[in-house]
Amino acid sequence: MIAAIGGLRRPDGAAKLTGAADYAADTPVDGVTHAALVPATVATGRIAHIDTAAAVRAPGVLAVLTHTDMPRLKTIGSPPLGQSVLPLQDDTVRYEGQPVAMVLAETFEQARRGAELVRATYADVAVPRAFGDGESVTPRPGLISGNPAGRVGDVEAGLAAATTVVTATYTTPNRHHSPMEPSATVASWHGDQLTVHESTQWVFGTQMALAAAFDLPADHVRVVCPFIGGGFGCKGFVWPHTLLAAAAARVTGRPVKLVLTRAQMFTSCGHQPATTQTLTLGTDDDGRLTAVRHHSVNPTSTFDDYAENATGGTRWMYASPAIDVAVLVEHTSRQTPTPMRAPAEGLGMFALESAMDELAYALRMDPVELRLRNEPAVDPMTGQPFSSRPLPDCLRAAAQRFGWSGRPAEPRSMRDGDELVGWGMASVTMDTFRLPSSARVRLQADGRTIVEAGTQEIGTGLPGVLTTIAAQTLGVDPGSVEVHHGDTDLPETSGTFGSSATMGVGSAVAAAATELRDKLDALAGTGAYPRRLADAGLDSLDAEARWDPAERGEGRSIHTYGAIFVEVRVDPDLGLVRMPRCTATYAAGRIINPLTARSQMIGGIAWGYGQAMLEESILEPQLGRFLSKNMAGYLVPVCADIGDIDVSFIEDPDTDASPLGAKGIGELGAVGVSAAIANAVFHATGIRVRDLPISIERLLNPVWDAPTPTTRP
């Protein structure tokens, strides 16, 4: 059954729209000092000399810090740090854009000018290590999500038994998160107490990293983050600028504000690494998979192994007696990459769902039917039962809403005037990250209910979700609920990543509200709760609870699913691709607030469109430098790029995932879009684009590979 769209409007919407909402850099601080970073201009080498004389003499400049006078910081490791290398600790340059100095001045402009006047010279400058030149190696444990390698059955035997085999290589480019709000830190010390206002997806991770860096107990560090102007993963971990601002505040004895420039956002808080993925699928005559092999390699820094777990979804997506997945990394001269919405599956499902489309053509089978035929009864790699597996429902519902049944199978068979028209589809999945969290709920005699949780509001609408949960649990009006969030002084929560906040923080709020309801029910009287509090002579009553995901779901394969169908129109002379409409149906646990959930999926699809059509950060191999560090050179979609988006949800409460039945949705919408578009482009043009983005030059000058599907006689 398709769930209806309704729900609570964002309680913080008006404040954000009118500019009343405070973001980190808006924090008013008396006597604040402004910091500006000096980035390294080489990708590998050693700092020979830093001439700070001109900067120190410049108007308003208070100090210039380099590796020679920077306090020595202690590390806590990654995560919560985004990378293992700490800033300004030695003279080694490991990536272009690495901070080599920091200028502190009375105003923002004076700090920027001072930074321009710092002259660094470098020695031992070598040719950077570029992706594709080196060796692919097994990642060392560390900054890895999931299980990079795994095998079940005998893939070689499965391929030998197959009558149709498709094998192809797919690539995705380096991408940057490019949130509207650049990363920013405002740090103030009061004795040995540190307060930091930060744009972060993880206030408690920031607290941990800062406490470790300055050798303080955690409760001496308070991190505040009321709102985030977009994060998408680049604010998930703690990056050098946060440590630098806190160190500068300690050195100068004044509060310090550090806001990264747009250009610095390309070298300071990670990026999504390129992937090169090879997929081999074998089937019998009926289109049943006999073997699946999916290997991926991605570049990482020279000093950390960040493995992009692109083969993740392939582990549980389709039934096959033999599956072999592996992720390798290559050490290159760049900053350590980091997760970006949607990491892992967002990249891997481009390859898998493109290959499934190629297989459908080789078999002359409808691509939806091919997927339905390979629907597994249990998790194909672990043998575990699925907590829920409504993928077929999503496929059927979305196909019907889209009108898929009228599709002619042949490429280049639909035309409208001069435009070629194509329809394509893809399955969608995302892993389910379940993270522990705490929350406190307080009911006051004045009729207000206060929800308190340290968690961050990244823009998904979490305050509305928590309001809904508290109001439903206590049976009070949502308008009487206030949510306080974004502060390490509030109950501890996990980071806002892995699409986990509704499930984790929401379950904690539900548990606290349930406990509070029981306490309120134990009061004398029968009237409304505030009245009963007053009668009992109480101003307020509260309850705090922690939700631990270990309490349930053991031995279950827990994921979210969906299906997306798109129509593209291609101008064959200009290579232009438009997406006038798309239909997507998702199964992602119980949907708490359908209004903001739908917005999440629309945003995810727009994000996936960007992956398919526009986004690419070219890393110049000789310089080891991202070429276009601005929003003119890094293209993201605008409203005019995208037509009608039809989003629906299957009702799929999953109590193996959480007591609320909720799972995660934040990243799911970004998955599968690029494959559906590439498949639609093939249907429109007969050109198979296996390298993202699907740029004009790729469509006008296609690489006409030897046909990859091979059908044995």
Q: Rule CB under 6 A: is residue 339 a binding residue for ligand MOS?
A: yes
Q: Under a CB-based contact definition with an 8 Å cutoff, are residues 438 and 485 in contact?
A: no
Task: Please list every residue from 374 through 413 that binds ligand MOS, using CB under 6 A.
Answer: none
Instruction: Give CA–CA dist 481/573, Å, rounded.
Output: 57
* Stretch touching ligand MOS by CB under 6 A, among 325-333, 335-343, 409-417, 690-698: 335-343
**Whole-number minimum distance, CB 410 to ligand MOS, in Å?**
38
Q: Rule CB under 6 A: is residue 233 a binding residue for ligand MOS?
A: yes
**Whole-number minimum distance, CB 202 to ligand MOS, in Å?**
9
Torsion of CA 245, 251, 255, 259, to 10 degrees: -20
**Whole-number minimum distance, CB 265 to ligand MOS, in Å?**
15
Helices 501-521, 462-474: crossing angle, 10 deg rounding: 30
Of 81 and 356, which has the nearer Cβ to ligand MOS?
81
Of 236 and 367, which has the nearer Cβ to ligand MOS?
236
Instruction: Give CA–CA dist 451/470, Å, rounded.
Output: 8
Q: How far is CA 92 from CA 89, 185, 247, 474, in A?
A: 9, 25, 20, 57
- Residue 593, token pair as written in the block: 């607030």
* Stretch touching ligand MOS by CB under 6 A, among 337-345, 511-519, 555-563, 647-655: 337-345
Residues 6+ apart with CB under 8 A from 403: none
Q: Rule CB under 6 A: is residue 273 a binding residue for ligand MOS?
A: no
Of 490, 498, 456, the C-alpha closest to 227 is 456
Of 131, 169, 423, 371, the C-alpha closest to 271 is 131
* Stretch touching ligand MOS by CB under 6 A, among 126-134, 229-237, 312-320, 321-329: 229-237
Q: Rule CB under 6 A: is residue 341 a binding residue for ligand MOS?
A: yes
Q: Under a CB-based contact definition with an 8 Å cutoff, are residues 222 and 197 in contact?
A: no
Kindly tell me which residue out of 196, 340, 513, 689 binds ligand MOS, with binding defined by CB under 6 A. 340
Q: Rule CB under 6 A: is residue 270 a binding residue for ligand MOS?
A: no
Exactly one of 116, 156, 667, 697 is catalytic; name it.
667
- Kindly provide the b/e burial profile for residues 117-138, where b requires at least 16 CB atoms within 10 angstroms of the residue's own CB: bbebebeeeeebbbbeeeebee
**Whole-number minimum distance, CB 231 to ligand MOS, in Å?**
6
Instruction: Give CA–CA dist 86/501, Å, rounded.
Output: 29
* Stretch touching ligand MOS by CB under 6 A, among 60-68, 72-80, 340-348, 508-516: 340-348
Q: Give the 3-state secondary structure of 309-320.
A: CCCCHHHCCCCC
Report, in this order, helix, strand and coil percent for the chain, each rounded to 5. Answer: 25, 25, 45
Instruction: Give CA–CA dist 535/524, Å, rounded.
Output: 8
Q: Rule CB under 6 A: is residue 115 a binding residue for ligand MOS?
A: no
Local structure of 58: helix, strand or coil = coil
Q: How many residues bind ligand MOS (CB under 6 A)?
A: 10
Q: Rule CB under 6 A: is residue 498 a binding residue for ligand MOS?
A: yes
**Whole-number minimum distance, CB 490 to ligand MOS, in Å?**
20
Task: Please list every residue from 139 through 178 that binds ligand MOS, using CB under 6 A.
Answer: none
Instruction: Give CA–CA dist 569/86, Å, rounded.
Output: 48
**Whole-number minimum distance, CB 201 to ligand MOS, in Å?**
6
Do the strands 45-51 and 119-123 form a parallel or antiparallel pair, or are they unpaired?
antiparallel
Of 460 and 648, which has the nearer Cβ to ligand MOS?
460
* Stretch touching ligand MOS by CB under 6 A, among 275-283, 339-347, 358-366, 632-640: 339-347
Catalytic status, residue 667? yes
Phi, psi angles (nearest 5°) of residue 400? -70, -45
**Whole-number minimum distance, CB 538 to ligand MOS, in Å?**
41
Of 273 and 339, which has the nearer Cβ to ligand MOS?
339
Nearest residue to the partner ligand MOS, using Cβ:
233
Kindly tell me which residue out of 52, 188, 201, 277 binds ligand MOS, with binding defined by CB under 6 A. 201
Kindly tell me which residue out of 497, 561, 565, 626 binds ligand MOS, with binding defined by CB under 6 A. 497
Of 201 and 296, which has the nearer Cβ to ligand MOS?
201
**Whole-number minimum distance, CB 503 to ligand MOS, in Å?**
13
Q: Give the 3-state secondary structure of 183-197.
A: CEEEEEEECCEEEEE
Residues 6+ apart with CB under 8 A from 626: 96, 97, 174, 176, 266, 267, 271, 617, 618, 619, 620
Q: Rule CB under 6 A: is residue 346 a binding residue for ligand MOS?
A: no
Q: Rule CB under 6 A: is residue 312 a binding residue for ligand MOS?
A: no
**Whole-number minimum distance, CB 294 to ligand MOS, in Å?**
21
* Residues with active-site annotation: 667
Residues of this chain that bind ligand MOS (CB under 6 A)? 201, 231, 233, 236, 339-341, 343, 497-498
